[in-house]
Amino acid sequence: MDITTQKPAAPPAPGPAAPPPDTRAARGVTRPGDRIFLGLSRGSGILVLVLMAAIAAFLTYRASLAISKDEANFFTTFEWNPSGLPPEFGIAVLAFGTVVSSVVAMVIAVPVAVAIALFITHYAPRRLGGPIGYVIDLLAAVPSIVYGLWGALVLVPHLDGLYGWLDDYLGWTGILEWNDGAPRSLFTVGILLAVMILPIITNVSREVFRQVPRMHEEAALALGATRWEVIRMSVLPFGRSGVISASMLGLGRALGETMAVAMVLSPSFTISASLLDPGGGTFAQNIAGKFNEATEMGRDALIASGLVLFVITLLVNGAARLIIARRKEYSGANA
């Protein structure tokens, strides 16, 4: 059966018999065991590449089927009706909602997470720091569906007060105006996403801050620096690339978060100027919400929107990589 050869993640398939002779000759001895082992591990590496290529290829293929039948502009249409006659759908609302909710989440989560990481590594009494880090570790493992359940049944009913307050004092800005309606808006989604990505960003940042060479800190202290100056001069510069990659990790999760958004947001295909008005949608939420009732054409359209999400996360990750690569001198595991 050729199905077995097609499945994307075959068990440790050792690649084709491993004959790569490039740098091996220069390094001298090659034993058969070495050759097999190299083949196995290189094969796995290649499998990862093949998998990524396959993801891009198959998503593009199905997406092109849908987009070629789309009678409206795929990027600017405010509508999702892929099984209509004629089929019309576009991702404008989804792109807007995804970006806005992720931005809200990042604005809230990154400073707080960095502060907590600093708290654990540099401020908390040592007897407290360990357990807190441990608890945050555990919280990072809480699945998104549980955050979604909590968001929908606990957070949303508690947000009326905050919404009223924001509306009273910041309503004049236009983007924080609340015209009643349940607080199931992109702003709430942003808050929930912030809570979700907080433990992840904290975790990674904490690990990085902990690796700051003792000598750097002690040198700063010896020069008479205050605790804050130690952090600003030795901890933060050392940890910058780590914090950035932690944030990107969090951003990736926020961009692609499905269930929590689907449970909290009351979706609609409109863009509202105010963040507090219910409505809007995100790529992932739209896919989960529309999948069950979708026809084959509808599924292809959802795959098309998933492809856009894929490309966005690819760009975000690429950007993060570039930033980190430029700051490589700081992120020394062997420093």
Partner 1 sequence: MTHTIDDTRRSGSLRGATLPKWFPWAVAGASAALGYGISAAAGLHSDIQWALIAALLFVGGSFAVSAKVEGRRQARDRTATSLVWVAFLLAVIPLASLTWETVKRGIEVLDGYFLTHSMGVVADSEPGGGIYHALLGTLEQVGLATAISVPVGVLTAIYLVEYGRGRLAKAVTFFVDVMTGIPSIVAGLFVLSLWILILGMGYSGFAGSMALSILMIPVVVRSTEEMLKLVPNELREASLALGVPKWRTILKVVLPTSVGGITTGVMLAIARITGETAPVLLLVWGTNFINANPFQDPQASLPMYIYLQYTNGSEAAYDRAWAAALTLIAFIMILNLVARGIARWKAPKTGR
Interface positions, 205-244, toward partner 1 (CB under 8 A):
217, 221, 226-231
Query: What's at 162, amino acid-wise?
Result: L
Smallest gap from residue 9 Cβ to partner 1 (A) = 5
Position among 38, 67, 103, 233 found at the interface with partner 1 (CB under 8 A) = 38
Position among 199, 267, 281, 298 found at the interface with partner 1 (CB under 8 A) = 199
Position among 71, 79, 137, 180 found at the interface with partner 1 (CB under 8 A) = 137
Smallest gap from residue 104 Cβ to partner 1 (A) = 15
Provide the 3-class DSSP secondary structure of residue 210: helix
Query: What's at 303, amino acid-wise?
Result: I
> By CB under 8 A, what part of segment 301-330 binds partner 1?
302-303, 306, 309-310, 313-314, 316-318, 321
> By CB under 8 A, what part of segment 75-134 binds partner 1?
111-113, 115-116, 118-119, 122-124, 126
Rounded Cα distance, 86 and 78, in Å: 15
In the stretch 268-297, what mask flags binding to partner 1 with x, by CB under 8 A?
---------------xx--xx--x----x-
Smallest gap from residue 86 Cβ to partner 1 (A) = 22
6 near partner 1, judged by CB under 8 A? yes
143 near partner 1, judged by CB under 8 A? yes
> By CB under 8 A, what part of segment 157-196 binds partner 1?
161-162, 164-165, 195
**Residue 206 Rama label (left phi>0; alpha psi -120 to 50; beta):** alpha
Provide the 3-class DSSP secondary structure of residue 8: coil
| Environment class of 335 (CB within 10 Å of its CB; exposed 0-12, middle 13-18, buried 19+) | exposed
36 near partner 1, judged by CB under 8 A? yes
For partner 1, which is the closer residue by CB, 124 or 271? 124
Position among 82, 183, 242, 252 found at the interface with partner 1 (CB under 8 A) = 252
Residues with Cβ within 8 Å of residue 169, at least 6 apart in sequence = none
Rounded Cα distance, 202 and 172, in Å: 34
Smallest gap from residue 78 Cβ to partner 1 (A) = 22
For partner 1, which is the closer residue by CB, 124 or 272? 124
Max distance between CA atoms of the chain, in angstroms, equals: 76
Number of residues counted as binding partner 1 (CB under 8 A): 110
Residues with Cβ within 8 Å of residue 291, at least 6 apart in sequence = 299, 302
| Environment class of 273 (CB within 10 Å of its CB; exposed 0-12, middle 13-18, buried 19+) | exposed
For partner 1, which is the closer residue by CB, 23 or 76? 23
257 near partner 1, judged by CB under 8 A? yes
Q: Which two tokens stand for residue 85?
A: 């006659």
12 touches 46 (CB < 8 A): no
- Give one DSSP letter per residue of 47-61, joined into a string: HHHHHHHHHHHHHHH
